[in-house]
Amino acid sequence: MFMDKKIQDLFNNAKNIVFLTGAGVSTASGIPDYRSKGGLYDAVERPEYLLSTDALANEPAKMYDFIIKNMYFPATKPNVIHQKMAALVNAGKARIITQNVDGLHLKAGADAERVIEYHGNIYDVYGVTDHQPASYQNYQAGMRREDGDILRPNITLYGEIPFRTNEAAQWVMNADLVVIVGTSFVVYPFAGLLQYANAQVPILAVNRERIEAPQYVQQEIGDAVTFFEQLTVE
């Protein structure tokens, strides 16, 4: 369906692949995406507000309720997309910059030094006042610690700057192949990382639908699971 010699050769010949991944990478593991029908934001009033610094400051209970009901999937396992990407990472051929907060790239065994969780990790929890860590199980049990401090996951809320932005830009700048997978590519500054790619570097997008991207981006439309099942990792 997807894989031909030309695409396979792109991966075989690349020495510094950068994957830019979004929620569509994890849907095959049973985690809903954000903006599609039936996704996290579907039929929810002001979903961006519920994941914002304003909600944390003014209505933390509403934010907590939304996160607890919709964003924790501790039993989920990585799928073939995570696994093939991890194999390329651990072969020293790739790095991953992900919007996903589910931790599945790391759960698949990808070297943490070669993964940027651009929007954080939902399982990394801390107290708002003193920044002392807490387990996600404690957070699931209640919004506040015994001393009253509010707990929050270490994810990028609307109104906050994503993690390791300069490093992410440098990774894209040094890439010899950029592969966009499972993202609508409408959230900034993540989508803006593409501007750092070298003009001579091939850019491939694998998504169920076309994304807003420059004409030089090669777009493969279809199921990313099928694409990565067909991809051979040398």
Q: Is 119 an active-site residue?
A: yes
**Residue 6 buriedness (CB in 10 A; 0-12 / 13-18 / 19+):** exposed
> Coil, strand or helix: which one is 55?
helix
Cis peptide before 78 (omega within 30 of 0): no
CA 119 to chain centre: 7
How do strand 94-98 and strand 115-117 relate by DSSP bridges? parallel
**Rounded distance between C-alpha atoms, residue 21 and residue 118, angstroms:** 10
> Coil, strand or helix: which one is 229?
helix
**Rounded distance between C-alpha atoms, residue 110 and residue 112, angstroms:** 6
Tokens of 191: 């989508």
Active-site residue, from 82, 105, 119, 131: 119
**Rounded distance between C-alpha atoms, residue 189 and residue 200, angstroms:** 22
- Catalytic positions, please? 119
